[in-house]
Chains A and B, each alone.
Chain A
Amino acid sequence: MSVRLAVDIGGTFTDLALEANGARHTTKVLTTPAAPEQGVMTGVRAILEQAGLAASDIEILIHGTTLATNAVIERKGAKTALITTQGFRDVLAMGNESRYDQYDLNIVLPEPLVPRHLRLTVPERLDNEGKILLPLDEAAVRALVPVLQREAVESVAVGFLHGFVNPTHERRVRDILAEMMPEMPVSLASDVSPEMREWERFSTTAANAYVQPLMASYLRRLEADLRGIGMTAPIFMMLSGGGLTTIETACRFPIRLVESGPAGGAIFSATIARACGLNRVLSFDMGGTTAKICLIDDFQPQTSRTFEVARVGRFRKGSGLPLRIPVIEMVEIGAGGGSIAHVDSLGRIGVGPESAGADPGPACYGRGGLHPAVTDANLALGRYDPERFAGGAMKLHAEPALAALKHDVGEKLNLSAELAGLGVVEMVDENMANAARVHAIESGKTYDGRTMIAFGGGGPVHGGRVAEKIGIDRVLVPSGAGVGSAIGFLRAPVGYEVVRSLYQRFSTFDVAAVNALLDDMVAEASTVVAAGSFGAPTRQSRIAFMRYVGQGHEIAVTLPEGRILQSDVIAIRASYDQEYARFYDRPVPGSDVEIMSYAVVVATITELAETATDVGKPHAAVPDRFQNVRDTATGEVSAWGIYDRIRLAANAIVQGPAIIAEDETSTLVGPSWTARIEEHGFIEMTRKASA
């Protein structure tokens, strides 16, 4: 018997998914922000009852949470001090000295997590090679203790210039504080984010220190509560990079948990991709306030080492606090069902990023929302059956939706409410498509031949149109889309990523030094993984981040397995040139290549979970009813067939235009698409022109 439980705490709902002997149970309960473990316990009891199991039957619990993210966004973390190099007190505040919007005189830059009076400096200085230019003034460190006490500081971050090359000074500060303030949590930049670029590194370290007391105390309480009901299974935490780790590691580096929910969604997509043998996938997760777009090649979500949290400038890049941690790379834009539409000074329709949220929600919820949201526009186009939205749990009201569209958009552009709805939906689809396009170029990827996996409440509604706009001909809507992230947790490997900098040029490549560094990194990652893998087989991947000497952006190149030999060096250089030419058409002649840093991932090997069933013969499905829907391309209204997903057998074929309805979402099959229920029970849409 195998019983696995996943818990994903989101802003509004806590999602749970439990798999026992091949059967899957899911449930949603309200999140309890003040003490999140309470909501979790409510959900755990409910899902165990549903499955007829006891807490002691659970064999593994996997947990992801937005708690750390919310603490940063809402500024509810610990009172944190930063101890840093004298002369560099304001690295956190000065950032990159730029404005993220060139034409807005009134922009607000994000406040650092540590205010200036708690940014404390001590004399010390290392050079770029880690040589000591000025020794650490230990007396100055000790003199800070009364300041920390007087200010009632709860957590300390330590970051010195070039400290990632030589952590001696940072460690000495940690030891002095441990001696004088043994209870004080200390985060060292050389541990949390040992990479070049002082702003990003200090920001990450300060954020880690800022959320650490909160996260550690929450995790301990949760653990105690679960033990209290008799659960003996190990608890694993979902990391923003897509792996799992132990509670102990999570308590040391809680900042690595920030994006665990969306990471679960990406892993969900990766699992679907693997089950279906899709090598190149675009994961499209559209919820109530945002849409998340992630590229998945060879069943691995694309990863990155930078992330921005708590953007103040309405999702504008550059308006958040930078974090340099392993994350699943995705773009998140302010485009969801609740995003509000408006008309700008040029008479152009704009959508989002302001959201109606859950309360009052879109106008059609009938709870007093006055401004038109994307959901209102979808309703105006006839895409939802007002009586059956959310499985009939919530009735939608057309009148306030049409009134809001007419007032905020239609009247300004001389359009009817219905056409205003069309404009809003087209614009939000275009915005998502544009974000996806720019994301691809930033990642050096294309969309030709990709399959989109659409989930979240809005993904299946908008996926087809977005796919058309970016040139994707195949869309897959998996089952269980409503709790995709939690299901993703169940598929995540126990894994850990270590990143370190070691500057090298190819012309003077030091094989011994690189092997020593990689061995050290593998050992560190393996230790973390061993705590939770129970001897399961693991895989290693080792990546070098390389660029032409003089360039600023690196390309990731996978290193050969085993010890690197001198004879491998030419092959590694050749694979770099090849990768570069693939992205940017032509390699640059005559340039040496430099290696900036390395990443090592150690992870357990994951098994397939989605199983294919025998499919019957292809047969045309019969609509359950009809509904008048307006097509966004032609603007014409016609009767579209509505099919209840639950009644569609394997290999049922649905010709667009049609809508396949289910409780959490609706799949819109546009006029140029054909849908089929494929062998895993997923909806597979293909474009007629390409079929």
Chain B
Amino acid sequence: MSNAALAGIQRQIMWNRLIAVVEEQAQTMIRTAFSTTVREAGDLSAGIFDLQGRMLAQAVTGTPGHVNSMMEAVGHFLAKFPTESMNPGDHYITNDPWMGTGHLHDLTVVTPAFRRGAIVGLFANTAHVIDVGGLGMGPEGRSVFEEGIYIPIVKCFDRGVPNETFFDFIRWGSRLPVELEGDVYSLCACNDAGAKRLVAMMDEFNMDSIDPLAEFIFDSSLRATLTEIAKLPGGTYSSEISSDGYEQTVTLKAAMTVLPDAIEVDYAGTSGLSQRGINVPAAYTRAYACFGIKVVVAPEIPNNWASLLPFRMKIPEGCILNAPRPYPVAVRHVVGQLLPDLMMGCLHQAVPDRVTAEGSSCLWNPPLRGGGAVSGQGTPNKPVIGDFEVTTFNSGGTGARISRDGLDATAFPSGVRTMPVEATENIAPVVFWRKELRPDSGGAGRQRGGFGQIMEIAAKGDLEYAVNAIFDRVGHPPKGRDGGGEGAAGVVRLVSGQTLRTKGFQVIPDGERLLLELPGGGGLGDPATRDPHAVARDVRDSLVSPENAATLYKVSVEPDGGLDAAATELLRSQSHAL
């Protein structure tokens, strides 16, 4: 019997326990949060850190955009409030885009955990709240100061007592004061739950410190990540991707170098900064770029400080992926969420059988606003809808996968969920007349891209309201790979026909409805090699037209899904002959 072997098993058990501790932390937030973005959509993250600010474990529940960025945030908190100055019952907060997760709508709270009077670790979490004042969620700000109330790193609870000055500021600075204050309480409760569990765990395992466990976690994670990196063919792989931008097309460029013990990405050549809020702070760039690499290279290794260490980023100052303060950054996700596609564009050259085609990628979240702020005061001749402010999360199709089709109307890379239409219509006077899959939008391929969706949105009574558009991939649809076709481009217009801008505040006049057609994912491989039965099923389901089946897939199908095998063979042999 070897004690070392037994201790090894025990350390594994403790690691698993730590992951359960942070999962409890995240679940507490979901149960107590007020903003639909957190409780319905799951736009959050939670983790535990050692006293040097290194993340040991992160909740499985949550979204990748917060991963790495929250991880860096704890260091900023410690720089301002060293651990020696912390007391039991303290909670620290910020929404500084450069100290936290990239825009003012994300609150980050850090809480020390104490055991027997001594500080033993730190818990942190991040959540996207609905409103922080300013212009509201959207790209229109020309500096961060227009985008909302700015919370530097401060104490929101001091030894268990709420900082009423702080709470007064946020109550008076938001359109939704009750929700905002409630969410801060929720974030603190969530860290408390984690701290309580950590102390119980240390008691059970007789741990004086989490440091030995941290070293074990870091050591195993780093070693496992390096092993995965070593399996990749070395070299430098370049790729680029374009976004519609605000004023003009934005191009992101990456040169990824796979070294024996690291992956370095250089973003030289990427477009410069925008005057509007699509700029991305560096921490958010690192977050989504790391996610895009990790999901291909080392998906099974849990996220922590060491497992992300071998991924290094060189982001030139002044490019759109490294926005300095006070550039506007409110909707940094619209550019940032293209990064996994960009990373896969590089990795495709190294490990073509492990990446997906490009997807819709950026969430299509229309912030909707109505009432006095849009239409002024109503008159007997012109009624005005009651004041409201609401956002829903919606997704297009994901890129085709190596052995499966892309996912229809599913969030990727973001980890959020949508809200039920019935729930949205209960909190705001809006009517969704349509929300269903968009036929013929998935890029053709041996594996087909996922289908996007079509949404038709009105205010009740078809009264005037406004959308603060944050949409992309209208001018730059998702690309296929290995001969696969492009996904359908997005469409933003009025139902009556007029095209709208992809970004920015626009009024939907009385009697009009907003029409959104979300992009489909790109295809993978030659469409003429797709299983004809799969094509026939798509036709039968009215998701692929018989015309597209014939021209793109070289398959002859009746509208009811009846496959003409002979005609298909002929079509396919003709296309080979060409």
Contacts of B20 in A (CB 8 A): 434, 437-438
| Nearest CB in chain A to that of B416: its residue | A98
For B24, what are the chain A residues with a Cβ–Cβ distance below 8 Å?
437-438, 441
Interface set, chain B 142-190, CB cutoff 8 A to A: 176, 178-179, 181-182, 185, 189
Tell me if B69 counts as interface (CB < 8 A to partner A).
Answer: no
Binary interface encoding of chain B residues 277-316 relative to chain A, with 1 for a CB under 8 A from any of its CBs, else 0: 0000000000000000011100111000000000000000
CB distance from B197 to the nearest CB of A (A): 8
State whether A198 touches B420 (Cβ < 8 A).
Answer: yes
* Among listed B107-115, B259-267, B429-437, interface-contacting one: B429-437
Kindly identify, within residues 192 to 226 of chain A, every residue whose CB is under 8 Å from any CB belonging to chain B.
196-199
Contact A87 B417 (CB under 8 A): no
- Output the least CB separation between A320 and chain B (Å): 15
Tell me whether A551 and B39 are in contact (CB under 8 A): yes
**Contact yes or no, A127 B431, CB < 8 A:** yes
Q: How far is the CA of A218 from the CA of B200 in the complex (A)?
A: 51
Given A105-B295, A346-B301, also A553-B420 (CB < 8 A): no
A471 close to chain B: CB less than 8 A: yes
CB contact between A426 and one of B1, B13, B403, B436 (< 8 Å): that residue: B13
**Min CB distance, A576 to chain B, in Å?**
14
Which residues of B14-57 are within 8 A (CB) of A?
A: 15-17, 19-20, 23-24, 27-28, 30-36, 39-40, 42
Q: Determine how close the nearest CB of chain B comes to the CB of A173; give it in whole angstroms.
A: 19
Contact A434 B543 (CB under 8 A): no
Contact with B along A419-458 (1 / 0, CB 8 A): 1001100110011001001100110100000000000000
- Chain A residue contacts of B433, Cβ below 8 A: 87, 125
Does residue A340 face the partner (Cβ distance < 8 Å to B)?
no
Q: Report how far A198 CA is from B422 CA in the complex, Å.
A: 7
A599 to B572, CA, bound (A): 60
Q: Binary interface profile of B, 187-215, with partner A (CB < 8 Å = 1, else 0)?
A: 00100110001001000100000000000
Given known contacts A97-B393, A116-B543, A438-B23, A345 and B420 CB-to-CB distance under 8 angstroms: no
CB pair B420 A89 closer than 8 Å: no
Question: Which of chain A's residues 574-599 have a Cβ closer than 8 Å to chain B?
Answer: 583-586, 588, 590-591
Asked if B125 is an interface residue, CB under 8 A from chain A, the answer is no
List, in ascending order, chain B residues with CB within 8 A of A585's CB.
189, 192
Is B101 among interface residues, defined by CB-CB distance under 8 A?
A: no
* CA gap between A503 and B401 in the complex, in Å: 43
Q: Which of the residues B17, B178, B394 comes within 8 Å of A97, measured between beta carbons?
A: B394
Task: Specify the chain B residue showing the minimal Cβ separation from A109.
Answer: B407
Determine the distance from Cα of A198 to Cα of B420 in the docked complex, in whole angstroms.
Answer: 6
Partner of B410, one of A91, A97, A344, A444: A97
Which chain A positions have C-beta within 8 A of B200? Answer: 471
Among the listed stretches B4-12, B479-487, B545-553, which one makes contact with chain A, having 4 or more residues with CB under 8 Å of it?
Answer: B4-12
A344–B224 alpha-carbon span in the complex (Å): 10
Per-residue CB contact flags for chain B residues 377-412 toward chain A (1 = under 8 Å, else 0) read: 000000000000000011100000111100111111
Judge whether A90 and B437 touch: CB under 8 Å: yes
Distance, CA A419 to CA B416, complexed state (A): 42
Contact status A345-B415, CB under 8 Å: no
B-chain residues with CB within 8 Å of residue A197 when the two chains form the complex:
420, 422-423
B410 touches A162 (CB 8 A): no
* Listed residue (A346, A427, A444) with the most chain B CB atoms within 10 angstroms of its CB: A346
**Can you name the residue of chain B whose Cβ is closest to the Cβ of A550?**
B34
Q: Is the CB of B434 within 8 A of A87?
A: yes
- Distance from A51 Cβ to chain B, minimum over Cβ atoms (Å): 47
**Would you call A145 an interface residue if the criterion is a C-beta within 8 Å of the partner chain's C-beta atoms?**
no
Query: CB < 8 Å: which of B181, B404, B417 contacts A106?
Result: B404
At the interface, yes or no: B541 with Cβ under 8 Å from chain A?
Answer: yes
- Asked whether, in the complex, the Cβ of A161 is within 8 Å of the Cβ of B409, the reply is no
Smallest CB–CB gap between A339 and chain B, Å?
Answer: 15
- Tell me the bound Cα distance from A127 to B10 in angstroms: 57
At the interface, yes or no: B76 with Cβ under 8 Å from chain A?
no
In the complex, chain A residues whose CB is within 8 Å of the CB of B543: 116
Chain B: interface residue count, which band? Answer: 35 or more
* Neighbour of B33 across the interface among A419, A427, A552, A634, CB < 8 A: A552
Q: Does B521 contact A (CB under 8 A)?
A: no
Give CA–CA (A636, B35) in the complex, Å: 53
Which B residue sits closest to A196, measured CB to CB? B422
Bound CA span A419–B24, Å: 31
Establish whether residues B13 and A550, one from each chain, have CB atoms under 8 Å apart when the complex forms.
Answer: no
Nearest-neighbour CB distance to chain B for A301, whole angstroms, equals 20
User: Which residues of A (139-183) have their CB < 8 Å from a CB of B?
Assistant: 161-162
**Of residues 57 to 106 in A, which have CB atoms within 8 Å of B's CB atoms?**
86-91, 93-94, 96-99, 102-106
For the complex, is B60 an interface residue (Cβ under 8 Å from A)? yes
Give Cα A88 to B435, complex, Å: 6
Q: Nearest-CB distance from A630 to chain B (Å)?
A: 8
Contacts of B63 in A (CB 8 A): 102
Contact A105 B178 (CB under 8 A): no
Contacts of A104 in B (CB 8 A): 299
Question: Which of chain A's residues have a CB closer than 8 A to the CB of B541?
Answer: 115-117
Partner of B540, one of A103, A117, A127, A590: A117
B356 on the A face (CB < 8 A): yes
B456 contacts partner chain A, Cβ-Cβ < 8 Å: yes
Q: Give the residue of A89, A106, A345, A590 whose beta carbon is less than 8 angstroms from that of B437.
A: A89
Q: Which residues of A contact B3 (CB under 8 A)?
A: 635
B42 nearest in chain A by CB position? A98
B90 at the interface (CB under 8 A from A): no
Asked whether, in the complex, the Cβ of A102 is within 8 Å of the Cβ of B415, the reply is yes
* Residue B561 is within 8 A (CB to CB) of chain A in the complex: yes
Is there an interface contact between A550 and B16, defined as CB atoms closer than 8 Å?
no
Q: Mark A400-416, 1 if CB is under 8 A from B, else 0.
A: 00000000000001110
Q: Mark A647-673, 1 if CB is under 8 A from B, else 0.
A: 000000000000000000000000000
Question: B251 on the interface (CB 8 Å rule)?
Answer: no
Residues of A235-253 at the interface with B, using a CB-CB cut-off of 8 Å, are none
Distance in Å from the Cβ of A649 to the closest Cβ of chain B?
A: 36
| CB of B402 to closest CB in A, whole Å | 8
The reply on B502 being an interface residue by CB < 8 A is no
B460 within 8 A of A: yes
B40, B300, B402, B422: the one within 8 Å of A552 (CB): B40
Q: Which residues of A contact B299 (CB under 8 A)?
A: 103-105
Rounded to whole angstroms, the CA-CA distance of A232 and B466 in the bound complex is 68
B249 touches A (CB below 8 Å):
no
* Closest A residue by C-beta to B433: A87
A268 on the B face (CB < 8 A): no
Q: How far is the CB of B343 from chain A (nearest CB, A)?
A: 12
Contact B407 A442 (CB under 8 A): no
A111 CB to closest chain B CB (Å) equals 11
**Cβ contacts under 8 Å, A103 to chain B:** 294-295, 299-300
Q: Chain B contacts of A415 at CB under 8 A?
A: 5
Cβ A345 vs Cβ B178 within 8 A: no
Residue of A nearest to B412 (CB): A99
Give CA–CA (A631, B346) in the complex, Å.
Answer: 51
B531 at interface (Cβ–Cβ under 8 A)?
no
5 contacts between A and B (CB under 8 A): A105-B401, A347-B220, A438-B23, A441-B193, A635-B5
Interface positions of B (Cβ within 8 A of A): 1-3, 5-6, 8-10, 12-13, 15-17, 19-20, 23-24, 27-28, 30-36, 39-40, 42, 60, 62-64, 176, 178-179, 181-182, 185, 189, 192-193, 197, 200, 204, 220-221, 224, 227-228, 294-296, 299-301, 356, 393-395, 401-404, 407-412, 415-418, 420-423, 425-426, 431-437, 453, 456, 460, 540-543, 561
Known: A88-B435, A552-B39. 16 other contacts (CB 8 A): A86-B434, A94-B453, A96-B418, A97-B394, A97-B409, A102-B62, A108-B404, A197-B422, A347-B224, A434-B20, A471-B204, A503-B426, A551-B33, A585-B192, A588-B181, A637-B1
A residues with CB within 8 A of B: 86-91, 93-94, 96-99, 102-109, 115-117, 125, 127-128, 133, 161-162, 196-199, 344-349, 413-415, 419, 422-423, 426-427, 430-431, 434, 437-438, 441-442, 444, 469, 471, 503, 548-553, 583-586, 588, 590-591, 634-637
Rank and list the top 5 A-B pairs by shortest CB-CB distance, nearest first. A552-B39, A87-B434, A116-B541, A434-B20, A550-B34
